[in-house]
Amino acid sequence: MTQATTEASDKIVNPVEQYLRTERIPHIWCPGCGIGTTVNCFARAIDKCGIEREKMAIVSGIGCTGRVAGYLNFDSFHTTHGRAIPFATGLKLANPELNVVLYSGDGDLIAIGGNHFIHAARRNIDLTVICVNNFNYAMTGGQVAPTTPVNAVGTTAPHGVVERSFNLPFLAESSGAAYVARWTAYHVRQLTKAMVEAINKKGFSFIEIITPCPTLYERRNRLGDGLARMQWYKEHSVIKNGAPTRECDIEFQNEIVCGKFVDKDLPSFLEVRNAQLENLRREGIARS
Amino acid sequence: MDEEQATSAALSGVTEKSSNKPRGAVSIIVERCKGCGFCIAFCPSGVLTLSTVFNDKGYHYPEVAHPEKCTGCGLCGMYCPDFAICGARLPRGEAERKE
Amino acid sequence: MSADTNGILTGSHYLDGDHACSEGAIAAGCNFIAGYPITPSTEIFERLAWRFPATGGTFVQMEDELASSIAIQGAVWGGAKAMTVSSGPGISLMMEHVGLAAMSEVPCVFVNVQRGGPSTGLPTLPAQGDMMQARWGSHGDYEIIALCPNSPQECFDLIIQAFNLSERFRVPVMFMMDESVGHMTERVVIPAADQIDVVARRYTKLPADEYLPYKPGDDMVPEITKAGEGYRIHVTGLTHDERGYPVMDARCQRQLVTRLADKINNNVDEITSFVEDSVEDADVVVVSYGITSRISSKAIRAAREKGLKVGHLRLIVVWPFIEQRIRELASKVKAIVVPEINLGQVVLEVERCAGGHCKVISVPHAGGAVHDPQTITEAIVEAAR
C-alpha cells in the first residue's frame, strides 16, 4: 500500500527507483542499517554527475555492503571476498570507457582486500571506491574488523579490541589515492556531493562512509539503534575539510573527523601507460 | 529559490510569505518500511509521525501528520535506507491551488 | 574464424615452451594478461609484457596471484580475451577464482607450468603433481578442461585449443605444462594467421529485454555479453538463476550446478583429445601425458624390442577424463601402465574406469626430474607377465 499526502504525490518519483532492481526490493539490510542511505546518495550523485548510465559498472565484494551490486540496475558484479578491486582493475583496463565504481564494506576492502586496495591506490587506477565502514564484519555476525576501534567489542573480541585500528583516509592517502573523503550516513548532502566529485575524478578516489550497524556493532557496544547512532554522528562529527589524514583516527566513542581531505590531480595508470604506448608507436614498436 | 536554499530555509526555521513558501508532498511505500525512524527524525518540518499500525512485516511505518508543513526538501527520501519514502517539491501551480 | 594477423610471428623459430606458449596465446587473440612472476612460468609473462604493445594487448603485473586470477575475469567482462600464468604455489592461491570462473562461466585460461611440490618444492625442476588439483582444487562441484602439451610446438598449438575450448564452453581451462616442456627449446613452426582456427566468443544478439545471462542454449552453454552494452547484467559467485540473481535454495542449486557439470560431461566427445599408437592389438597399454609421454615412447620402443605388444595412449586433454575409452581398453588388454611425475594421480582415474578388468600399474616419480625410461620399460615387462 502506498500512502501519499496529496493526489499530486503519486507523481513523485523517487530518484533512486530507476536505478534499482525493484523486483529484488525489499532488500536484506536490517532496520536502521545505513547502507541503503548511502545508496540514495549514490543515486542522486549519478543523476548529477553526467556519466552515461550504460557505461557505469558497479563492482562489489562479499558482505552486507557487497550486496549493493545486486540491487543496483547496472552492469554489476558481485565478486569474491576482498577481490573486487583487482576485478575492477581488469574490467577498467579491458574497457577504459567504463566508469567503474566499487561499492563494498570495510572488511572486504581493507582486511582481506587490503593488499589490493593499497596497490590500486598506488597505481592510481581510475576507480571510485565507496567504502561503507560499520566497524565490523556484519554479514557473518559481527566479528571485529581492522577498523573496529580499540576497546569496542565484537564476537571475536568479546572482552574488547586490543589491536589498533586502521585510519582509512590516512591509508588511502599514503598509498597514493588522488581523492580521499570521509562522511557519515548522516551527512547525506555532503556525501552526495563527494560521490559526484569522486565519480568524475580521474584516478583512484576513495570515500569512507561511517554507517550504523544496529543489529551487531551498535547493539553489542550498547550504542543504541540506527537512529540514535545517526544522531550521535550529527553531534559528534567535526567537519574539517583539508585536515591532515594522519589526524583522522577514529577512537571509540570519540569525535569523527569528516570532510574532503585529499583532492589532487595525478596522472592515472592508463594515462601513463598510454603515454608510453604513444612513445612506442613513434618508435615503431607498438601498433597503431 | 533553489532546492539548496529551500532546504536551508526550512532547516533554519525561517518562514516566508505563504504565496512564496514552497510546498511539497511525500510518497510512502508502506510495505518497504522497516521502521527505522530516520525520516521522522530528520524531517526538518515535522511532517511525519510514526503510525500506530503495522505493515505486513510488522513494522510501524511513517504517516503524514502535517502535510501542510511539507516543503518538498526531500530529506526523508535521502535518509530512508529502504527506499520506502520520497518527498519532492510540488509544481508551483499545485502549491498555489492548495492554499 | 582465423587469427588476427597482428603480431603473429609466422615462420620457423627456435623457442622454449614458455615462449611458444606466449606466441600461441597471441595467435589465439589473447589481449589481456594479469599475472605474478613465479618460476618456471615467469618467461611466459615477461614475453607478453614485451610483445603486447606490438599486438595491442594489455599487460598488468598484479600484486599477487589472488589479484591476477580475478583481474583476468574482470577483463573478460570488459570484452578481453584473457589468461594468467603461474605454478604450484600460485595456482593454489588462484583456486578460489577458478571456482568463480566456473560458477559465473567466464572463458579464460590458467597456465600452470608445474614444478616440484608440495609447497615451495623445487621451483626450477619438473613435476606433474598438480593434475588432481587442476580438477578438484576449488571447493564445490564444478568441471574444468585441462590440456597437457608435451613439446614447445604443442605449447603453441594447444594453447590456441585451450582458448577455443574456453570460449566454446564458457569455462576456465587449465593449461598443464611442466618445467621440462616450459624450459626446453625446440623448433616451433608458427603458421600464417589464416591457417589458425580461432573460436569467436559467442556474444548474444538478443535485445536487452530478452537476454538472460545464464539461460543456456541447447548445448547447455549460455550466450555471453560484456559490460557497457546496455544489458545491465548481474554476475555473482552466489548460486543464481537465469537472470544471474542470487537464489538461495536447493532447487536452484541443483539446476545450476548440474548444468555446469553436464555442460562439460555431456560434451566429452567434442572436448577430449588423445593420440593412440598400436593400441588395437596390444597386451599392455601405456597411458601418459605431458613430458612423460616422450619418455614413455622411448620406454615402449625398448619393450617392443623385447617382443612385447605395447600400445601407447597419450592424453592431450586430461580433464574431462576419457572414461569410456579406458573402460573399453580395460576389457581388451592385460594391463595399463601409467607413468607420471607424481606419486600417482591420473592413475587413480585409470583404475576407477578400468573397474578391475585389467591390471593398472602406476609408475610414480616424486618429481624433480623426468623418469628414467628403464623404469617404465621394467613396469611394462612386469605388467606383460
Quick one: average pLDDT of B5-26?
55
pLDDT digits (tens, 9 = 90+) for A241-272: 999 999 999 999 999 999 999 999 999 999 99
Asked if C279 and C181 sit in the same domain, the reply is no
Give pLDDT, residue B91: 81
Q: Is C60 on the interface with A (CB under 8 A)?
A: yes
Residue B14 counted as domain residue: no
Q: What is the rounded distance in angstroms from the CA atom of residue B89 to the CA atom of residue C313?
A: 78
Subunit contact A93:C78, Cβ cutoff 8 A: yes
Residue C6 counted as domain residue: no
A277: nearest CB among C6, C53, C68: C53
Q: Which amino acid is at A158?
A: P
Cβ-contact C193, C8 below 8 angstroms: yes
Q: What is the rounded distance in angstroms from the CA atom of residue A245 to the CA atom of residue A260?
A: 10
Structural domain of A73: 16-282
Give pLDDT, residue B99: 41
Shortest distance, CA B38 to any CA of chain A (angstroms)? 6
Subunit contact A226:B70, Cβ cutoff 8 A: no
pLDDT digits (tens, 9 = 90+) for A64-118: 999 999 999 999 999 999 999 999 999 999 999 999 999 999 999 999 999 999 9
Cβ-contact B72, A16 below 8 angstroms: no
Q: Is A7 on the interface with B (CB under 8 A)?
A: no
CATH number at residue C102: 3.40.50.970
- The residue to which cell 593400441 is assigned: C279
Quick one: average pLDDT of C163-190?
98
Shortest distance, CA A27 to any CA of chain B (angstroms)? 7
Q: What percentage of chain B has pLDDT greater than the value 90? A: 67
Q: Is A94 on the interface with C (CB under 8 A)?
A: yes
Give pLDDT, residue B21: 58
| Chain A residues with CB-CB distance to C100 below 8 A | 79-80
Give pLDDT, residue C6: 73
CA A114 remoteness from chain centre: 14
Residue B16 counted as domain residue: no
Q: Is C74 on the interface with A (CB under 8 A)?
A: yes
Q: Which of A80, A115, A122, A285 to mutate to test the interface with C (most CBs of C within 10 A)?
A: A80
Q: What is the rounded distance in angstroms from the CA atom of residue C252 to the CA atom of residue A198?
A: 38
Residue B49 counted as domain residue: yes
Asked if C177 and C312 sit in the same domain, the reply is no
pLDDT digits (tens, 9 = 90+) for C43-87: 999 999 999 999 999 999 999 999 999 999 999 999 999 999 999
Shortest distance, CA C227 to any CA of chain A (angstroms)? 6
Q: Which amino acid is at A90?
A: G
Structural domain of C330: 274-384
Give pLDDT, residue B4: 54
Cβ-contact A169, A182 below 8 angstroms: yes
Q: What is the rounded distance in angstroms from the CA atom of residue C225 to the CA atom of residue A203?
A: 27
Residue C258 counted as domain residue: no
pLDDT over 90 (residue C184): yes
Asked if C183 and C46 sit in the same domain, the reply is yes
CA B27 remoteness from chain centre: 8
Shortest distance, CA A145 to any CA of chain C (angstroms)? 21
Q: What is the rounded distance in angstroms from the CA atom of residue A65 to the CA atom of residue A103?
A: 7
Q: What is the rounded distance in angstroms from the CA atom of residue C180 to the CA atom of residue C184?
A: 6
Q: Is B42 on the interface with A (CB under 8 A)?
A: yes
Domain end, chosen from C131, C164, C195, is at C195
Between positions 175 and 204 of A, the ones with CB within 8 A of B are 188-189, 192
Q: List chains adjacent to chain B, taking adjacency as at least 3 C-beta pairs closer than 8 Å.
A: A
Nearest residue in C to A287, CA atom: C54
pLDDT over 60 (residue B1): no
C74: nearest CB among A55, A70, A88: A88
| Chain A residues with CB-CB distance to B45 below 8 A | none
Residue A10 counted as domain residue: no
Cβ neighbors of A75 (< 8 A, separation 6 or more) are A54, A56, A57, A58, C77, C227, C228, C231, C232, C233
Mean of per-residue pLDDT scores for chain B: 81
Q: How many domains does chain A have?
A: 1
Subunit contact B26:A5, Cβ cutoff 8 A: yes
Rounded to 5 degrees, what are φ and ψ at A104? -150, 180
Residue A193 counted as domain residue: yes
Asked if C49 and C154 sit in the same domain, the reply is yes
Residue A8 counted as domain residue: no
Q: How many domains does chain B have?
A: 1
Q: How many domains does chain C have?
A: 2
Subunit contact A1:B83, Cβ cutoff 8 A: no
Q: What is the rounded distance in angstroms from the CA atom of residue A225 to the CA atom of residue A241?
A: 29
Q: Which amino acid is at C338?
A: V
Residue C235 counted as domain residue: no
CATH number at residue C352: 3.40.50.920
Structural domain of B54: 3-9+21-97
Q: What percentage of chain B has pLDDT greater than the value 70? A: 71
| Chain A residues with CB-CB distance to B78 below 8 A | 37, 40-41, 44, 188-189, 192
Domain end, chosen from C130, C163, C195, is at C195
Q: What percentage of chain C has pLDDT greater than the value 70? A: 99
Q: Is C55 on the interface with A (CB under 8 A)?
A: yes
Subunit contact A16:B77, Cβ cutoff 8 A: yes
Nearest residue in A to C238, CA atom: A78
CATH number at residue B30: 3.30.70.20
Subunit contact A26:B90, Cβ cutoff 8 A: no
Nearest residue in B to A13, CA atom: B86
Give pLDDT, residue C7: 85
A94: nearest CB among C78, C234, C246: C78
- The residue to which cell 588395437 is assigned: C280
Nearest residue in C to A23, CA atom: C245
Q: List chains adjacent to chain A, taking adjacency as at least 3 C-beta pairs closer than 8 Å.
A: B, C
Give pLDDT, residue A2: 55
Domain end, chosen from C195, C221, C243, is at C195
pLDDT over 60 (residue C205): yes
pLDDT band of residue A287 (cuts 50, 70, 90) is: confident
Q: Which of A2, A7, A9, A211 to mutate to test the interface with B (most CBs of B within 10 A)?
A: A9
Q: What percentage of chain A has pLDDT greater than the value 70? A: 97
pLDDT digits (tens, 9 = 90+) for A196-249: 999 999 999 999 999 999 999 999 999 999 999 999 999 999 999 999 999 999
| Chain C residues with CB-CB distance to A70 below 8 A | 234, 236, 245-246
Q: Is B64 on the interface with A (CB under 8 A)?
A: yes
Q: What is the rounded distance in angstroms from the CA atom of residue C211 to the CA atom of residue C229?
A: 12
Q: List chains adjacent to chain C, taking adjacency as at least 3 C-beta pairs closer than 8 Å.
A: A
| Chain B residues with CB-CB distance to A44 below 8 A | 78
Asked if C33 and C171 sit in the same domain, the reply is yes
CA angle A273, C74, C207 (to 5 degrees): 115
B28: nearest CB among A2, A41, A230: A2
Q: Is C234 on the interface with A (CB under 8 A)?
A: yes
Q: Is A26 on the interface with B (CB under 8 A)?
A: yes
Residue C228 counted as domain residue: no
A29: nearest CB among B64, B81, B88: B81
